[in-house]
Copies of this chain bind each other. A is one copy, B any other.
Amino acid sequence: MYEIFQKYLEEKAEFSQAESERIQSFAIIKKLRKRQYLLQEGDVWKYDAFITQGCVRTYTVDEKGSEHVNSFSIENWWTGDRESLMMQQPSRFNIDAIEDTELVLFTHENFESLCREIAAFNNMVNIILQRSFISAQNRIQASLTLTAEEKYLNFINKYPGFASRIPQTMIASYLGMTPETLSRIRKQTAKK
């Protein structure tokens, strides 16, 4: 499934034949079965990971054992724990597959080499990071200003298609509400 990543690269920037080959030479293909972990709390995350197929969730588990979903990532997105990666510290997060998933991994050293060697690659990564930051900001803003119902409507509007792939319990957790509340909101909004 490397072709999907190849296509993504071509869309984002122009790479020479040699550069493309260099990038591919570092790629590690990884497959995850549904429920399988990509990262477990306590482990240090060491990759930059691109999803070519499937869907994963990033979440924490609190002292009471409840899970709090931090993010979902699907094909053509990146996943991982930047904090653990950058600080080389054990992760507070778990990442596991919601569906059977295929990824392209780069060890961080290799990834950094690519950034250093290939200006277009570095630039691409930078733009992705800026986009990620912007969407994190928007999520914060939404959590501060919206009611539970508005959060849900905002979510399905922003990520159409997610609702049909991801269990409601996880979506509720992502939105910071209980599954019961989400169920009631869906019932209400269906009426309208």
Q: Which residues of A line the B interface, CB within 8 A?
A: 60, 62, 68-70, 82-83, 86, 92, 122, 126, 129-134, 136-141, 143-145, 173, 176
* Chain B residues in 8 Å Cβ range of A131: 86
Of the A-B pairs whose beta carbons lie under 8 Å apart in the complex, a sample of 23, sorted by A's number, is A60-B141, A68-B144, A69-B144, A70-B137, A70-B141, A82-B133, A83-B134, A83-B138, A86-B131, A92-B141, A122-B122, A126-B129, A129-B129, A129-B130, A133-B133, A133-B136, A136-B137, A139-B140, A140-B140, A143-B143, A143-B144, A143-B176, A144-B173
Are B126 and A83 in touch, CB under 8 angstroms?
A: no
* Chain B residues in 8 Å Cβ range of A176: 143-144
Interface of A is mostly: helix
User: In the complex the two chains form, what is the Cα distance from A131 to B62 in whole Å?
Assistant: 24
